[in-house]
Amino acid sequence: MVFEKHTRSPNLFFVIVALFWFSQYIYIPFFSPYLIAIGISASLVGIIIGSYGFTQLVLRVPLCIVGSKSGSHKFIIGAGIIGVILACAAPLVIDSWVAFLLTRALAGAASSTWIAYSAYLLEGAEDAANQRIGYLMAANSIGILSSQITGTFIYGHIGMRMMFVVAICVASIAFVLLLLTPFRQRTVSGEHVLKVAINLAGVLRNRNFWVCSVQALTTMFLLYATTFGFTGVFAQEALGAGPLVLGALFVLFQFCSMLVSIGLGKFGRRRLPERGIMTVSFLLIAAHCVIIPFTGLTGIILIQIVAGIGFGMGNILPMANAGRELDESQQILSMGLFQTIYSFGMIFGPAFTGFLFDSTGNNYQFTFSVLAFVAIAGAAFTLANYKNSRG
């Protein structure tokens, strides 16, 4: 795994990626169920979760402009790691629901720097885009998977607050490693920045960019409505799941998602029927939404295999292909816009689902059926609009 144009220490770079997401997700399997258990309404929980996407919506494009002007992404990545530390410190010093809102908002600000990671690897990638994004998402998944295994133990034996302490420690290690990692400095001239600004209209006119963006928005809407939102709430409130089961849901989900990321990274240079893969992705997500409210504890754990495969495919391909028809000078800008657009899904997925839960008296069957319909609509949209990059 060598990317000569980007850094002399690619393996260390991916370690930083894994540690960053470890500290971001260690408490996520238990976050929504915990908020419900301490008496916060589903609608407010949806807003708290959605604040994670709101700050990303606000910050993605400004950060991509800063990255374009600076020619180096190291500063942005470092700022994101510091944001993680601040996000996890909030519940330790503030004792109210406002702390959890601040936690997710700051975590979203930190995740906005994901543009720096992805844009850095996509520079000069060309046909290797799928491969590099696959490796990047694999490091992402490894970090999240290991965090959820760790979090399951901590939550069951020590409690929620200690997870925030562990997250702060891990993020601090990531920051130290970042300082030790040499990045290739890319010189950016005024002409280059001007060209990016002029070509903004070209990005917005590109049909493939919008198709991939809508696919990603839909995927994120469903991901933050279910796995990162209310699947755990259903498991706890309706099925009586404890910490071990809640952790198992996410561990199995992330493990399957990681395998998909590694697979797409390994075979990224080969011909991929991307339209078919994305269609299957949405159909798998729809199937998992339909099954969840009609199953027991064993079933809801096993259905995470389907969810992990579906979301794993749906997360990688749109990101890798959104800028495939654009010039290299447009790549950073297009990635910032792409991630800004899918942030709408992070905001409205959990907020919409929380509203449905409250307005229907926690009617899980109806709520998850609506989400299944959204996934089917995503599949239909893909069939009607997406064109494979090859063949």
How many other C-beta atoms lie within 10 A of the C-beta of residue 287? Answer: 17
Q: For tokens 């589903």, what's the residue?
A: 42
Q: Which amino acid is at 353?
A: T
For residue 183, list its beta bridge partners.
Answer: 7
Domains of the chain: 10-181+188-385 (1.20.1250.20)
Indicate if the pLDDT at residue 124 is higher than 60: no
Q: Where are the alpha helices (DSSP H) in 267-363?
A: 274-291, 297-321, 331-359
Indicate if the pLDDT at residue 376 is higher than 70: yes
Find out whether 358 and 42 touch, Cβ atoms under 8 Å.
yes
* Average pLDDT over the chain, rounded to an integer: 84
Residue range 307-335: mean pLDDT, rounded: 79
Q: Residue 174's pLDDT is what?
A: 95
Residue range 207-234: mean pLDDT, rounded: 92
- Provide the token pair at 321: 């292909």
pTM over 0.75: yes
Distance of alpha carbon 266 from alpha carbon 131, whole angstroms: 6
Q: Residue 301's pLDDT is what?
A: 92
User: Strand ranges (DSSP E) for the chain?
Assistant: none
Give the pLDDT band of residue 362 (cuts 50, 70, 90). Answer: confident
Instruction: Give the three-state DSSP class for 187.
Output: coil
Give the pLDDT band of residue 328 (cuts 50, 70, 90). Answer: low
- Provide the token pair at 83: 């944001």
Q: Where are the alpha helices (DSSP H) in the chain?
A: 10-25, 28-37, 42-70, 74-93, 97-111, 114-122, 129-157, 160-180, 190-198, 200-205, 207-225, 231-237, 243-266, 274-291, 297-321, 331-359, 364-385
Q: Which amino acid is at 187?
A: T
Give the pLDDT band of residue 1 (cuts 50, 70, 90). Answer: very low
Residue range 148-167: mean pLDDT, rounded: 88
